Amino acid sequence: MSLPMRPTLRQIESFKAVVELGNFSRAAESMQTSQANLSHTIRDLELVLGARLFDRTTRRVDMTDAGRAFATGALAGLNEIDRAAEYVRDLSSLKRGLVRIAAPPLIAGTILPRVLREVAAAHSELVLRIEDVSTDIIVEQVRSGRCDLGVGTFSPGEAGLDSQPGLQDSLMVFCTPDDEFAGRQQIRWAELRDHQIITLTRESSIRLLTEFGFESAGLPLRPQLEVHQINTALSLAENGAGIAILPAYSLAALKGRSIVARPLVEPAIVREVRLVTARDRAPSAATIATRNILRRVLREMVPEVV
221 domain residue, yes or no: yes
The number of beta carbons lying within 10 Å of the beta carbon of residue 32 is: 7
**Pick from 273, 252, 237, 41: nearest CA to 135:** 273
Q: Are residues 198 and 105 part of one domain?
A: no
Q: Out of 70, 92, 114, pick the residue that ends a domain.
A: 92
Q: What is the CATH number of the domain that holds 191?
A: 3.40.190.290
Query: How confident is the model at residue 80, as a pLDDT?
Result: 80
Amino acid identity at 279: R
| Residue 132's CATH number | 3.40.190.10
Distance CA 46, CA 60 (A): 19
Question: What local confidence, expressed as pLDDT, does residue 58 receive?
Answer: 66
Does 173 lie in the same domain as 239?
Answer: yes
Look at residue 116 in the predicted model and tell me its pLDDT: 95
pLDDT value for 3: 46
Tally of structural domains, the chain: 3
Q: What is the pLDDT, as a whole number, of residue 279?
A: 92
Same domain for 150 and 114, yes or no, is: yes
4 found inside a domain: no
Instruction: Tell me: do 88 and 159 sit in the same domain.
Output: no
Instruction: Give the span between the Cα atoms of 13 and 74, in whole angstroms.
Output: 10
pLDDT confidence of residue 138? 94
* Domain termination site, one of 61, 92, 123: 92
Q: What is the pLDDT of residue 306?
A: 53
Strands 225-227 and 197-200: parallel
pTM reported for the whole predicted model: 0.68
- Check whether residue 180 and residue 258 sit in a common domain: yes
- d(C-alpha 172, C-alpha 177), whole Å: 15
What's the Cα-to-Cα distance from 136 to each of 42, 102, 114, 132, 150, rounded to whole Å?
Answer: 60, 11, 24, 12, 11
pLDDT for the residue numbered 86? 66
Inside any domain, residue 197: yes
Question: What is the residue range of 31's domain?
Answer: 9-92
18 and 66 share one domain: yes
**Is 175 in the same domain as 246?**
yes
Provide block-wise average pLDDT over 10 residues at a time, the chain (306 residues).
71 90 89 92 91 83 90 84 70 74 93 94 90 91 93 87 91 96 95 95 91 95 94 96 94 91 94 93 89 93 71
Q: Do 293 and 163 share a structural domain?
A: yes
Domain stops at, among 39, 68, 92: 92
CATH of the domain at 69: 1.10.10.10
Residue 107: inside a domain, yes or no? yes
